[in-house]
A = this chain, B = another copy of it.
Amino acid sequence: MPETPDAKPVGAGRQLLFLREEELRLAQDLLFFGYRDFTAGPDALLAELGMGRAHHRVLHFVGRRPGITVGDLLAILGITKQSLGRVLTPLVEEGYVVQTPGRNDRRQRLLSLTEAGQALERRLFERQKEWVMRAYREAGPVSVEGFRRVMRGLMGEDARTQLDRALPETRPVPPGGAGSRKVA
């Protein structure tokens, strides 16, 4: 918390206020341009397949949490089930995503990627990976850590909770193999 410039010389206060405002407008610019160009690579690839960004998001989050329920996916994406349906149904029909009934609760349709789904998600990921790695390399590890902290701060409470649940604790690679599939 820097000074609240009320008793300060007026010129300096003005300058500080100006800088703060300019700083924040710059943040707006950076987020607009950065996010747009961050998504440009996958967008191009998706367009060739007759898909859009919404499909990518589903592939991404299903890939991230295999066996996720429709309800949880809806909560993460923050959209209605009708909107999700129009993207998810084609993905299932075209063999990118499978739905298996939950064995505790058979109303649930647990979602996971097929081989084709994993392959497609990977192709999309690779594009973004190259792009992000370039930015990370140019900026250096300290900046990357700062980037992560600020981005996390830009998230609302709900999103933070979801992110933490999605990534329990940078789970280390299970040395034995694919053995630790508990809970659900």
Q: Chain A interface (Cβ within 8 Å of chain B)? A: 1-2, 11, 14-15, 18-38, 40, 57, 60, 64, 78, 125, 128-129, 131-156, 159, 162-163, 166-167, 170, 172-173, 175
A61 to B59, CA, bound (A): 33
Q: Point out the residue from B1, B29, B60, B143 that lies within 8 Å of A149, measured CB to CB.
A: B143
Q: A36-B159, A38-B154, A154-B131 are in contact. Are A26 and B141 (CB under 8 A)?
A: no
Q: A57-B32, A60-B28, A159-B33 are in contact. Are A153 and B138 (CB under 8 A)?
A: yes
Can you name 13 A-B pairs with beta carbons within 8 Å? A24-B129, A29-B166, A29-B167, A30-B155, A34-B155, A34-B159, A35-B35, A35-B154, A139-B146, A139-B153, A142-B142, A145-B146, A147-B150
Q: Which residues of B contact A11 (CB under 8 A)?
A: 175
Main secondary structure on A side of the interface with B: helix
10 further A-B contacts with Cβ under 8 Å, apart from A23-B144, A33-B151, A33-B155, are: A15-B172, A19-B170, A31-B34, A33-B156, A33-B162, A33-B163, A36-B159, A131-B154, A143-B145, A146-B150
A129 to B149, CA, bound (A): 17
- Determine whether the beta carbon of A34 is less than 8 Å from that of B151: yes
Q: Which residues of B contact A64 (CB under 8 A)?
A: 25, 29
- Determine whether the beta carbon of B173 is less than 8 Å from that of A150: no
Q: Which residues of B contact A25 (CB under 8 A)?
A: 60, 64, 125
Least CB distance from A53 to B in Å reads 10
- Determine whether the beta carbon of B37 is less than 8 Å from that of A154: yes
Name the residue of chain B whose CB is nearest to the CB of A20.
B133
- Determine whether the beta carbon of A135 is less than 8 Å from that of B153: yes
